[in-house]
Amino acid sequence: MQNWLRMGVVVLSVFFMLWAGISPVSAAPAGKPIVIGYVGNVASPGTKPCMDIQKYAVEEINKAGGILGRPVEYVVLDGKGDTSLSVEAARRLLMEYKATFISIEGRSEISLAAQENSATLFKEFPHILIFNGPMASELTAKIADNYEKYKFCFRDFDPEPAHYGWLDIFMGQAMKESIKAKKVAFLWEDLAWTIMWRRGIDYLKLPTWEEVAKERYGLEVVYSKAVKPRGTMYLPILQEIASKKADVIWFVSSWFTDTESYAKQWSDSAAQDIPTILYGGVSQTHDFWRMTGGKGLGLMSPFSEGNIPFTPKTLPFIELGKKLGIPLQQHVHIAYADIYHFKAVMEKAG
């Protein structure tokens, strides 16, 4: 379990930040507001905390005098987790609100569409577009292949190939060493970010994760299924997994996945004695226990609210999240950092 906690905090250490120092006493900002926007699903327990923490960061900045003496206006538009609605919301942020910086929720499909939309509008509406948490390698590949067209785009999370580096923690330490598993059942969130891991990455000669489980760790894959992010009925799936006599379930989940619903169904299923490892989601927070009604015992997950002082800012930030009632899963840490990155960029550029 010590290794498991270490994994969660290493993830944080990779993506955590030292944001700009803010003086508590400054003159009130004045002039035309600088508009920062976020497009995301306001009803999602995965996305809404990003908006809430960014809104608070903007309030901090305004109380400290704004950016270059100007106030910052924070605008959230609801994309409802839908690609076309998210693209339209991003267009509104640029054309109607004149946003300078836009964050897009980290669903790869949505980020890719927003990237194309912004490329079309960039000349008339210059801005910075940042992808908050997606893994699609294509987002970076487009910039590398056509820099002039996409040079205003940035990501705050690593792409799919980088995650092969974590497999020893999941399969080696958690499954083989801690659980002593021999048979594994895979559940995959059926979105773009898991496709490379399900199919392998040919251009890098990287095998599928199921092949890694079998060939490197000697795990027998007895079940594998892609499930939709939200609204899945897990009970029949768990019944099948139990019948396959799996020793462990690995749910390759994200902050879009209804892992809280999964936990409730798992605890009442035929697979309730089979431990589940979650790849990510609201399970990264203390709030997960409340969301599951206390039915998460037996689930393992990377954890983003650990009591470990990576930097002088880490523990105060976690305490801030508790005070505000904002769960701080990994991408929420990053969303907060993004606002201060924006501030630093504007101050440096003048």
Q: Cα–chain-centroid distance for residue 6?
A: 19
Which residues does residue 42 pair with via DSSP β-bridges, in sequence order? Answer: none
Question: Are 155 and 170 within one domain?
Answer: no
Closest CA to 86 of 49, 48, 113: 113
pLDDT value for 17: 39
Question: Are 278 and 335 within one domain?
Answer: no
Range of 292's domain?
161-300
Average of pLDDT values for 53-71? 97
At 164-216, the pLDDT tens digits run: 999 999 999 999 999 999 999 999 999 999 999 999 999 999 999 999 999 99
The per-residue pLDDT of the chain, averaged, comes to 92
Question: Are 110 and 230 within one domain?
Answer: no
- Given a cut of 80, whether residue 23 has pLDDT beyond it is no
CA distance 107 to 133: 7
- Interhelix angle 330-349/2-15, rounded to 10 degrees, is 20
CA distance 239 to 250: 15
Residue 243 amino acid letter: S
In a domain, 78, yes or no: yes
Average of pLDDT values for 84-113? 97
pLDDT value for 311: 86
Question: Are 85 and 205 within one domain?
Answer: no
pLDDT value for 22: 45
Closest CA to 179 of 167, 171, 190, 191: 171
In a domain, 8, yes or no: no
Confidence class for position 143, pLDDT limits 50, 70, 90 = very high
Question: Are 118 and 181 within one domain?
Answer: no
In a domain, 306, yes or no: no
For residue 90, what is the domain's CATH number?
Answer: 3.40.50.2300
Question: Are 115 and 223 within one domain?
Answer: no
Q: Is 258 left (phi over 0), alpha (psi -120 to 50) or beta?
A: beta
pTM: 0.89
Question: Are 203 and 325 within one domain?
Answer: no
pLDDT value for 310: 84
Confidence class for position 26, pLDDT limits 50, 70, 90 = low
Residue 140 near residue 160, CB atoms below 8 Å: no
In a domain, 6, yes or no: no
Average of pLDDT values for 270-285? 95
In a domain, 319, yes or no: yes
In a domain, 259, yes or no: yes
Confidence class for position 10, pLDDT limits 50, 70, 90 = very low
Question: Are 59 and 145 within one domain?
Answer: yes
Question: Are 273 and 243 within one domain?
Answer: yes
Percent of the chain with pLDDT over 70: 93
> Could you give the number of structural domains in the chain?
2
Question: Are 22 and 155 within one domain?
Answer: yes
- Given a cut of 80, whether residue 152 has pLDDT beyond it is yes
Question: Are 119 and 141 within one domain?
Answer: yes
Question: Are 133 and 175 within one domain?
Answer: no
Closest CA to 339 of 119, 1, 6, 20: 20
pLDDT value for 33: 97
In a domain, 189, yes or no: yes
